[in-house]
């Protein structure tokens, strides 16, 4: 059974159809990547999967729970890292994790152990007592992922998890995501603009354009589909969307992305 499933899922904002009859299925344990230009509908789709936004039409389920009829059950089985900063810079890394452990209702007797394990897993044990405002961008992202998996979710949903990070920090986040998936059999659903990230991490990739999923396959199959032996995933993206990677998007979206990049340093 698919752990994430949608059927003709749509979301309208007035006359604007942001997500248009999206049907997809993600299998347990997969790392699934959703690509698309700014404004394609990726974040709107994620907000529906995380119960933050109700669909206008269609249906979606996560871990067998309907996102409309069973939102609390969905929230218990997912971890979510949004684009916006979710760690508190005035607290230490360990204090942030203890706070999230309480928010996620992690049993009191297990909190200390889970916090310690999360810090070790994400390579933050040595920085646990430091204020998060002193962390690098890569460290902050790893802390936010640690926060999101404290309650042992079945699905980790990441919206642009490495935006603004330098290549070394990005590689470190990738390595820890692979380790998480291997150790916890976690399903990872992520959006990204980095083609290298999608090709390196994801077993399946869907490209979204103007609210629709226009192609969905393994990265190697997508590359083969453009009929060019020297093609890259970036070539695939342009072939199917007709867009450059940085095209589209509103002033508000661009401003939000730049604020995130600035905060992550």
4-77+156-161+189-264 carries CATH number 3.40.50.300: yes
Contacts of 90 (CB under 8 A, 6+ apart): 131, 132, 133
Identify which of 112, 78, 80 has the alpha carbon closest to the alpha carbon of residue 97: 112
Q: Which two tokens stand for residue 35?
A: 């690509």
What DSSP character marks residue 70? -
Answer whether 0.85 is exceeded by the pTM.
yes
Neighbours of 51 (CB within 10 A): 21
Identify which of 211, 212, 234 has the alpha carbon closest to the alpha carbon of residue 223: 234
List, for residues 72-113, the tens digit of each pLDDT value.
999 999 999 998 889 999 999 999 999 999 999 999 999 999
Q: Which two tokens stand for residue 15?
A: 């006359």
Please state the domain extents for the chain: 4-77+156-161+189-264
List, for residues 198-257, the tens digit of each pLDDT value.
998 999 999 999 999 999 999 999 999 887 778 889 889 998 888 655 434 443 444 455
List, for residues 18-55, the tens digit of each pLDDT value.
999 999 999 999 999 999 988 899 999 999 999 999 99
List, for residues 168-188, the tens digit of each pLDDT value.
888 888 998 998 888 888 999
Computed over every residue of the chain, the mean pLDDT equals 89
Q: What is the pLDDT of residue 156?
A: 96
Q: Which two tokens stand for residue 247?
A: 């095209």
What DSSP character marks residue 158? E
| Residue 262 pLDDT exceeds 60 | no
Q: What is the pLDDT of residue 166?
A: 85
CA distances from 182 to 22, 74, 203 (A): 29, 22, 14
Neighbours of 17 (CB within 10 A): 17
């Amino acid at each position: 059974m698919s752990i994430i499933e949608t059927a003709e899922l749509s979301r309208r904002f007035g006359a604007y159809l942001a997500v248009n009859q999206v049907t997809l299925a993600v299998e347990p344990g997969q790392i699934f990547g959703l690509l698309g230009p700014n404004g394609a509908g990726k974040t709107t789709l994620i907000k529906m999967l995380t119960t933050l936004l109700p669909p206008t039409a269609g249906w979606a389920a996560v871990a067998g729970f309907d996102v409309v009829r069973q939102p609390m059950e969905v929230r218990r089985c997912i971890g979510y890292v949004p684009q916006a900063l979710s760690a508190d810079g005035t607290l230490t890394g360990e204090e942030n994790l203890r706070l999230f452990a309480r928010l996620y209702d992690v049993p009191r007797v297990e909190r200390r152990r889970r916090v310690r394990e999360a810090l070790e897993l994400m390579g933050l044990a040595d920085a646990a007592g430091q204020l998060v405002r002193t962390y690098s961008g890569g460290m902050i992202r790893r802390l936010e992922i640690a926060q999101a998996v404290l309650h042992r979710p079945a699905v980790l949903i990441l919206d642009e998890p490495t935006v603004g990070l330098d290549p070394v920090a990005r590689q470190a986040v990738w390595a820890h995501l692979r380790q998480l998936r291997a150790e916890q059999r976690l399903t990872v659903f992520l959006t990204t603009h980095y083609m290298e990230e999608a090709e390196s991490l994801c077993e399946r990739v869907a490209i979204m354009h103007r609210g629709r999923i226009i192609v969905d396959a393994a990265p190697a199959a997508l590359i083969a589909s453009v009929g060019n032996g020297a093609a890259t995933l970036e070539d695939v993206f342009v072939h199917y969307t007709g867009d450059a990677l940085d095209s589209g998007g509103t002033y508000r979206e661009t401003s939000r992305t730049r604020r995130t990049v600035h905060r992550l340093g």
